[in-house]
Amino acid sequence: MEEGHAIFDRPAPGAVTADAGFAQAGGLCQAGGVDVGILGGTGPAGLGLAARLAAGGLAVVVGSRDEERATAAVAELRARWPDRALAARAGTNAVAAEAALVVVATPWDAAEQTVVGLADALAGKVVVSMANALVGVGREIQAVVPARGSVAAGIAAALPRSRVAAAFHHLPAKELAALDAEMEGDVLVCADEPAARLATAALVARMPRLRALDAGSLAAAAPVESFTAVLLGLNRRYRTRAALTVTGIPGAGMAEVLEKEGGPAGASGRCA
């Protein structure tokens, strides 16, 4: 763990403290923030998110089943952005799971088996799933329904001592990784516990111009995940990379709650 980034006391395995998520939200908005681990961080989605979060000032651990692959992925990141002091380092998934907040970026059908072996390390922490259950059918990408209704619900069942949230499903990997352009759009955040929602919103707040919206409980992850298939179909038909923007909701979305309850998000409702 890089010193100076884990700024709150990590709860002991199994101990879900009442305010850990709020502490994380506050910590994520403070200079240096808390560290974030990404399981399956060598893929385009995880590595893209790692790049964005590191560009937003967080310390990120890019996790993999194979440390050498993670090392190569981090080297690729550094080579692409040599002038940015990205605080990204490589590790196994077990090392990434030691981070204060952990994102699951594996293929959907590998998510549960990946987290279940890390349950002790993930206990008491916010775990954010960005996985979408999709399959290719002919030229189309279609959504499939996992056993528990969503990938996030499966992860939550596998991690009863963690606080699971779902987010980032609709952010295209290529744009995430393109740090020379800001991303625009809304990030739908689902979680059963307000603290998990808030900590996830604080991650979003690290990415300028992306707005976190409270999409409800983890039950809402099912339609959020499967809607990705619709976006990918739009991309193919219109030869673009569609992003999600919800109209009719003025303001900064969850960043306003973050500012009120979670910590110093700044007057804009964004992390400074």
Q: How many CB atoms lie within 10 A of CB 250?
A: 6
| Interacting residue with ligand NAP among 64, 150, 162, 226 (CB under 6 A) | 64
| Interacting residue with ligand NAP among 55, 105, 159, 195 (CB under 6 A) | 105
b (16+ CB within 10 A) / e for 96-135: bbbbbbbbbbbebeebbebbeebbebbbbbbbbbbbbbbe
Query: Binding of ligand NAP at residue 91 (CB under 6 A)?
Result: no
Please compute, for residue 198, the number of CA atoms within 13 A of its CA located in the half-sphere on the CB side.
23
Beta strands in the chain (DSSP E): 35-39, 59-64, 88-92, 101-104, 126-129, 134-137, 140-143, 163-166, 185-191, 210-214
Size of the site for ligand NAP (CB under 6 A): 24
Using the contact rule CB under 6 A, the part of the chain among 6-14, 24-32, 60-68, 264-272 near ligand NAP is 60-68
Using the contact rule CB under 6 A, the part of the chain among 95-103, 156-164, 168-176, 259-267 near ligand NAP is 168-176
Nearer to ligand NAP, 132 or 226 (CB): 132
Query: Binding of ligand NAP at residue 65 (CB under 6 A)?
Result: yes
First-last CA distance in the chain:
24
Nearer to ligand NAP, 32 or 149 (CB): 149
SS3 content of the chain, % helix, strand, coil (to 5): 40, 20, 45
| 75 neighbors 102 (Cβ within 8 angstroms) | no
The tokens describing 86, both together, are: 């990205």
Query: Binding of ligand NAP at residue 271 (CB under 6 A)?
Result: no
Query: Binding of ligand NAP at residue 221 (CB under 6 A)?
Result: no
Nearer to ligand NAP, 69 or 78 (CB): 69
Nearer to ligand NAP, 132 or 200 (CB): 132
| Interacting residue with ligand NAP among 130, 166, 201, 207 (CB under 6 A) | 130
Query: Binding of ligand NAP at residue 107 (CB under 6 A)?
Result: yes
Residues in touch with ligand NAP (CB under 6 A): 40, 42-46, 64-66, 69, 105-108, 110, 114, 130-132, 168-169, 171-173
